[in-house]
Amino acid sequence: MILWSIVSAEDVYEGYGDPQHVKPLATITHQGVTMLVEPLGPGSAKIHRLISPHAADYLKAEWQPGNVIATEIPQTSIGSS
């Protein structure tokens, strides 16, 4: 792999493969759509990825990656991705 960047390779790959830098993700179904989220605290999560066969789901602004949603995440689904 070739990395073309003005940033040094050490800075780009800092923490790569380090388990402390890996965020726990959970797969949930929210309003009928399956998504990969990062639990933030009780009752909230940040969306990382949608998993949907419907193109219209990806156009909804409230489901864009990075948005925070109010949802309960079962403990059994954390780290299941």
Per-residue pLDDT at 35: 94
- CA 64 to mean position of chain CA atoms: 11
Per-residue pLDDT at 79: 63
Q: What is the pLDDT of residues 26-80, one digit of tens each?
A: 999 999 999 999 999 888 999 999 999 999 999 999 999 999 999 888 765 666 5
The dihedrals phi and psi of 10, each to the nearest 5 degrees, come to -60, -40
- Per the CB < 8 A criterion, the answer to whether 47 and 67 are in contact is yes
* pLDDT winner (highest mean) among 1-5, 8-12, 59-63: 59-63
Per-residue pLDDT at 2: 80
CA neighbours within 13 Å on the CB side: how many for 2?
1
The answer to whether residue 1 scores a pLDDT higher than 90 is no
Task: Give the integer Cα–Cα distance in Å for 28 and 21.
Answer: 22
